[in-house]
Structure 1
Amino acid sequence: MSNFLIALIVPIILGVLFAAAGRAKPIETEDGGYLLEYAKAIKGFGIGFTLLTLGGLVFLLFQAPIKDKDDMYAVIFLFGFFSLFAIYFYIEFFTVKIWVGPMGVRGTSGWRGKREYSWEQISEITYSPLSMWFKISSHNMPPLRIHAMITGVDKLQAHYMENLPEEKWKSAYEKFSQDKRVNK
């Protein structure tokens, strides 16, 4: 496959994923809040990519068996690398759940466990265009990061704009609004 073809396919796949994430809707909860999680298309991409890469490696082993020690090390490295990639996909796309509502924000993930903030505890909300995440900060608790590709970011923004003074969220709102990857 030529480099040109790869350079053409990758942005198309990423564009489809961004579009799918933008169309997915958060789950409304009984208490007036919303459950935010990654779109099924992104989860499907994680599963498909993992199966394709690990399956492709197994296929290659049948087509070109290991001949010497260097081949063995290369195979171990590749399986290890793609297995770590699969673990990352699982932890990020299947364990991250954010609840946002009238009382505050709660987040759970395989990375950092459970975090819960009432609106009164939040000292600042920032947005990083480089990482594409919102960071909710509190003076006495570790931060909670929410990726911009999660469904329902608009609900998160509506709640923090309604429940926090403008100086705590204005910078995040402005930077997020200028990020063309998530605002078409």
Structure 2
Amino acid sequence: MNSPRILVAYGSKAGATAGIAEEIGRTLRDDGCDAVVLPADTVTDVSGYDGVVLGGALYAGHWNSKARRCARRNAEQLRHRPLWLFSSGPVDRSADEHDIPPVRGVARRMKKLGAREHITFGGAVMPETSDPVARAMVKHGKGGDFRNPERIRAWAHHIGTELGATD
């Protein structure tokens, strides 16, 4: 049996969500999947994949526009394959402490596309970001990296298992 081919697409503004997507892709590859990680705005065809993971950073309660457009552009194909969604955003430990439900727009997409599940991971606001709001957060002590690699890997292992990947 061939390894499941999985697309991990992400919409990221400052790079934290891209880092989560890369970790998911690396874990899926370690589990025996053929995982490809791409920015969501470059994805125009998902028909060559056995499953798709689509993630987006959250800004002011909205999913990243690149992730939203990717979901809309590929909706017909996404409805016909296993799909998992993730969000990144809380710049605190809340995502590790309890499940955070998807924001309203993501919940609608989940239902419309038949996504299997959604998870929210902590985000990161780092001093090197070019975003003025993020820089102000860091200046006022609200920055940091709240991504949890163990939690990200555990979720990716779960996806690999669902798709029948073997080590």
User: TM-score if structure 2 supplies the norm length?
Assistant: 0.25
Structure with the larger helix share: 1
Q: Select the structure of larger CA radius of gyration.
A: 1
User: TM-score if structure 1 supplies the norm length?
Assistant: 0.24
